[in-house]
Chains A and B, each alone.
Chain A
Amino acid sequence: MKALREAAEKLLREKRVSLVIGYEGRKGRPAFFAAKPEDCGRLAYDASCRQNLAAYLGKPEIRARLPVALVAPPAVLRSIVVMSAESQVAPGQVLALAVDGDSYLGTFDAAGAAELLRAKYSTLAPEPALLERVQGLLQKSPAERAAFWEAEFSKCTRCYACRAACPGCYCSRCIVEKNAPQWISTAALGHGNYTWNVMRAFHQSGRCTLCGACEAACPQGLPLMLLNAALDREALEEFGSRPGYDPEAKPLIGSWSADDDHSYMR
Chain B
Amino acid sequence: MMKTETSTAPAPAAFEPRITAFVCNWCTYAGADLAGTSRLQYASNMRIIKLPCTGRIDPLFVLKAFENGADAVLVSGCHPGDCHYTSGNYHARRRWTLFRKLLALTGIGDDRLFFSWVSAAEGQKFADLVNDVTAKVRKAGPFRAAHPGRRAS
| Residues 219 to 233 of chain A near chain B (Cβ within 8 Å) | 226-227, 230-231
Interface size on A, residues (CB 8 A): 51
Is A134 engaged at the interface, CB distance under 8 Å to the other chain?
A: yes
**Interface contact A265-B149, CB-CB below 8 Å:** no
Tell me whether B63 and A198 are in contact (CB under 8 A).
Answer: yes
Determine the main DSSP class of A at the interface with B.
helix
Within 8 A of A (CB), among B108-153: 108-111, 114-117, 129, 144, 146-152
Confirm or deny: B49 has a beta carbon within 8 angstroms of a beta carbon on chain A: no
- B111 contacts A195, CB within 8 Å? no
Q: Is the CB of B115 within 8 A of A264?
A: yes
Q: Which bucket holds chain B's interface residue count?
A: 35 or more
Inter-chain contact A261/B60, CB cutoff 8 Å? no
A145 touches B97 (CB 8 A): no
Task: Report the bound CA distance from A195 to B114 in whole Å.
Answer: 19
Partner of B115, one of A145, A194, A227, A266: A266
B152 to chain A, nearest CB (A): 5
**Are A231 and B101 interface neighbours, CB within 8 A?**
yes
Decide yes or no whether A108 CB sits under 8 A from chain B.
Answer: no
B136 to A: closest C-beta gap in Å: 11
Binding-face segment, B4-12, B18-26, B87-95: B87-95
A238: Cβ under 8 A from any B Cβ: yes
Q: Which residues of B contact A234 (CB under 8 A)?
A: 97-98, 101
Residues of A within 8 A of B64 (CB): 183, 195
How far, in angstroms, from A262 to B95 measured CA to CA in the complex?
Answer: 11
Asked whether A260 is an interface residue with its Cβ less than 8 Å from the other chain, the reply is yes
Are A149's CB and B106's CB within 8 A? Answer: yes
Provide the residues of chain B in CB contact with A195, threshold 8 Å.
60, 63-64, 67, 149
Q: Are B63 and A147 in contact (CB under 8 A)?
A: no
Q: Is A142 an interface residue (CB 8 A)?
A: yes
> How far does the Cβ of A11 sit from chain B's closest Cβ, in whole Å?
38
Query: What would 19 A/B residue contacts be, using CB atoms closer than 8 Å?
Result: A145-B106, A146-B106, A146-B107, A146-B146, A146-B147, A149-B106, A149-B107, A153-B148, A191-B67, A193-B148, A198-B63, A205-B98, A227-B106, A230-B102, A231-B102, A262-B80, A262-B97, A264-B110, A266-B129
Chain A residues close to B by CB (< 8 Å): 134, 137-138, 142-150, 153-154, 175, 183-185, 189-191, 193-195, 198-199, 201-202, 205-206, 226-227, 230-231, 234-235, 238-239, 252-258, 260-262, 264-266
Using CB atoms and an 8 Å cutoff, list the residues of chain B in contact with chain A: 59-60, 63-64, 67, 80-81, 87, 90-91, 93-111, 114-117, 129, 144, 146-152
